[in-house]
Structure 1
Amino acid sequence: MVSPSQSLTPHDQNPVLVSTLNIVQGVSTPMDLIRAQTKSQVVFSFLSIGWGLLADIDIESERIRAVGSQRFAIWSMARLIGLRTYQGTLSFLRVPEHKLSEHRKRSVVHSMSSQSLNFLSPLPSSKSFHSDSIDLETETPRTDCTISRHDSFHSVASVKSSFHSTGAGSSYQSLHEVGPVTMYGPTSVLPPLHQSLPSTWEVVEGEFIMVHAAYQSHLAGDCYFSPRSELYDGIMWLFYIKAGISRNNLFHFLLGLASGSHVKVPGVEMVPVQGFRLVPHSTGSYIVVDGEVVEYGPIQAEIFPGFMNVFATGDTKS
């Protein structure tokens, strides 16, 4: 995987050139990886997991794909007018305050260093905290499945797109073996989906408009969804909006996706977490992992800090 630099190179003008230079120079940086588990499969994620409003817009706007990237703006207005709510239970393990404090301190130090070197970064960057090294062990089984590919969500205010569809025939498929299927990976700290969570987890129940966990700053080149996310900070930023938010605030939330100002809209909750579990109690929406529709139902996810390397410069902003 290739991630262009956000600080020193004109990646938005020529991402292929910048990414190629990163590969040729052998410049790499760690990146967090998330493992998500549904009832029947385990998938790895590097971008986001969503349910509700944004997932609905992403997937349902496929019906008007012919209009191009503006389909997201059109369908956003349609979903805002015909607003849906979904019953569910959201549980999460919040990042400890001491880790957040360490994260903020490193952000300040890295920001001062970057300014002294004239790095033109839009937000302070940080070398974030890391967990201990993780051993590879046999993990939970997964089943064979095929899921169609979809575009990533773009801002309502979008006039261009840095991401393009890979085509209708694109899909990914889990490996199939004869006999039990075994997945190798880090030891999970989460209990199985059918078991209860520890008392240290926080729980939010009721009617939701959306739940979206992000671990990169941008869901697309023009969708600045999670401004505080970095490539290897060990944090998932969990966004959720409960029923009751005004349509005016929700409209400003959608408009703010291009600039990152949506995080300041009243009614939008943003929580730093290490893991979460979502249990939908009503149907009518989708659960998407990195833009892919997965099995609808309970899903849980945990983060593995710096578990993989990508070709990119040292700036940790994704």
Structure 2
Amino acid sequence: MVRCENAVFGQRVLPILSESDAPHEVVVTSRAGEARQLAAEADLSQWSAVVIVSGDGLLYEVYNGILSRADWHRWVDFPVALVPAGSGNGMAASVAHASNLLPAFMQNPVLTASLALAKRLQLQVDLMMVRTQTEELVGFLSLGWGLLADIDIESERLRVLGGARFTVWAAARLLTLKTYRGKVFYLPGERTGARTEERRIERPRLERAITIESGSSSAGGRRRPVSEGAPTTPASERDVFTELMLDQVPPPAESNPGRRRLSSADPEPGVARHQFPPLDQPPPDDWACIQGEFVLVYGSLPSHISGDMHLNPGAELSDGLLHLHIIRAGVTRSQVLRYLLGLADGQHTELPFVERIAVRAVRLVPETAGGYITLDGEVVQYGPVQAEVRRGLGRVLCPRLP
């Protein structure tokens, strides 16, 4: 039986890759961690981008596979594209939002995201370097503790419901609202404006891409070339495709010389993984601290944490900030419900009991035993955790420049 991700690729993504004449290879993952291993061990110089047909979890694997490489600093900005076929899809929605294509994405997310493969434009994105007591990780989406993290992880048992699992479990968790005691240390940040010339990078030629999709099939885990005679795009979608393609067609050009640096034998100088003291040392004196009991502490880099959760209206892909939301103990269930309902359209930002703080770095120190801390929706060790935002360190393919 072919899973949804495979069907999405074969029926919706492959036609666009074929029509745009983009040579590529396909990897169908058959187990957790396979994409991470591929990113950690493969010769990435043979590809010019990686396309992920899945949810945010597979992109998390790819980034952390790259981080585990000895030459991670040369590959951390390896261009990625995410075609939504998961239950979260926060990064795909954020890229569409940054490209001023969110309405089109909400109507047809797969087609809108797939246009990035044909347009071959790039934007810089922020990443965050994260330390727990046992490992070092990289994140691109969110860091959570409390209610939203609980909903994200505990709703896994309802994965068969797709994105609806979050709504169903949120209702259940409201009935047993928990609070968590601890400390939140943070380095305040300020928006300094978009770095226009650095964020708008046009690289018209996609020389060779690798496409990774999650699923289980007879091809499980092995690379397979694109078959001849690929299906064509349906007429109704081809009209939308043509309209958006004509909106901003990249001019013919040679490959950007900056791209060739990724496969150069010379390492990128001066790229440090961390800029602040480790967890066994106190935070710097210019960090602020909030101590108490919390219903949730949740920070995200881009605008969306899922296709229908607009957590940070106004956030940019490379503004250098982690946008924290803090709700302290003492709120009512009805107030928390208003917050959750407001996530769809950004109305939660007007609620007086929601503290919103833009930070360059944050350290969470839980004091309540038991709970979840999540990075990009994945569970990490429960305990002290520190995240440092690295502005514009990553690259994503996008269908339109902002």
Fold match (TM-score > 0.5) = yes
CA contact (8 A) 2:370 2:382 kept: no
CA displacement, residues 139-162 of structure 1 (integer Å, 9 cap, x when unaligned) = xxxxxxxxxxxxxxxxxxxxxxxx
Alignment of 1:264-303 (within 5 A): 264-303=350-389
Q: 1:128: how far off?
A: 6.7
In the alignment, the residues of structure 2 paired with residue 250 and residue 212 of structure 1 have an alpha-carbon distance, to the nearest angstrom, of: 14
2: CA distance, partners of 1:201 / 1:64: 39
- Alignment match, 1:71: 165
Aligned partner of 1:49 in structure 2 is 143
Any stretches of 5+ residues in structure 1 without a counterpart? Answer: 104-125, 131-164, 169-183
**Equivalent position of 1:229 in the other structure:** 315
Give the Cα–Cα distance (whole angstroms) in 1 for the partners of residues 115 and 299 of structure 2: 31
2:189 to 95, 107, 128: 95
| Counterpart position of 2:105 | 11
1:47-87 deviation per Cα after TM superposition (whole angstroms, max 9, x unaligned): 00101100111111223334443332222122111110111
Partner of 1:246: 332
The aligned amino acid for 1:56 is D
2:374 alignment partner AA: V
What SS class does the counterpart of residue 186 from structure 2 fall into?
A: strand
- Normalization by structure 1: what TM-score? 0.70
Aligned residues with identical type, % of pairs: 40
Alignment check: 8 A CA contact 1:215 1:236 kept: yes
TM-score (norm 2): 0.56
Separation of aligned partners in 2, 1:258 and 1:304: 27
- Secondary structure at the counterpart of residue 298 of structure 2: strand
- Is the CA contact (8 Å cut-off) linking 1:51 and 1:211 kept in structure 2? yes
The 8 Å contact of residues 279 and 297 in structure 1, kept in 2 or not, is answered as yes
Match of 2:152 among 26, 39, 58: 58
The residue type paired with residue 314 of structure 1 is L
**Deviation for aligned residue 1:12:** 3.2
> Alpha carbons of 1:167 and 1:280: their partners in 2 closer, same or farther (altered >3 Å)?
farther
Q: Which has the larger radius of gyration?
A: 2
Counterparts in 2 of 1:128 and 1:36: CA distance versus 1, 3 Å: farther
Give, in whole Å, the separation in 2 of the partners of 1:18 and 1:266.
35
Distance 1:265 1:23, change over 3 A: same
Q: Is the 8 A contact 2:182 2:291 kept in 1?
A: yes
Alpha-carbon contact 2:187-2:360 (below 8 Å) kept: yes
Q: 1:187-226: per-residue Cα shift (whole Å, max 9, x none)?
A: 4221010101112110001111111110111111111111
Once residues 58 and 33 of structure 1 are traced to their aligned partners in structure 2, the CA distance between those partners, rounded to angstroms, is 21
Does 2:397 align with 1:311? yes
SS at match of 2:343: helix
- Verify the 8 A CA contact 1:222 1:258 in the aligned structure 2: yes
Deviation at 1:314? 1.9
- Seen in structure 2, the aligned counterparts of structure 1 residues 17 and 75 have a Cα distance that, compared at 3 Å, is closer
User: In the aligned structure 2, how far is the partner of 1:269 from the partner of 1:29?
Assistant: 29
Matches within 5 A, 1:137-176: none
| Contact 1:19/1:311, CA 8 A, preserved across alignment | no
SS at match of 1:314: coil
Distance 2:386 2:345 in 1: 29
- The C-alpha deviation readout for 1:103-134, integer Å capped at 9, x for no partner, is 3xxxxxxxxxxxxxxxxxxxxxx55798xxxx
Contact kept, 8 Å, 1:236 with 1:274, in 2: the verdict is yes
Structure 1 outlier segments of 4+, above 4 Å = 126-130, 165-168
Aligned to 2:243: none
Relative to 1, partners in 2 of residues 1:251 and 1:17: Cα closer, same or farther, differing over 3 Å? closer
Cα shift at 1:167:
6.5
SS in 2 for 1:219: coil
C-alpha distance in 2 between matches for 1:29 and 1:264: 30
Higher helix share: 2
State the number of aligned residues: 243
Quick one: structure 1 residues 302 and 60, their matched pair in 2 at CA, closer, same or farther if it must change by over 3 Å? same
* C-alpha distance 66-309 of structure 1, shift in aligned 2 (>3 A): closer
Unaligned runs of 5+ in 2: 1-79, 82-91, 199-212, 217-269
Residue in structure 1 matched with residue 232 of structure 2 by the alignment: none
CA distance in 1, matches of 2:352, 2:117: 42
Aligned partners of 1:53 and 1:210 also within 8 Å: yes
Cα distance in 1 between the residues matched to 2:329 and 2:345:
24
Residue 8 (structure 1) shift: 4.8
Residue type of the partner of 1:61? S
**Whole-angstrom CA distance in 1 between matches of 2:323 and 2:392:** 16
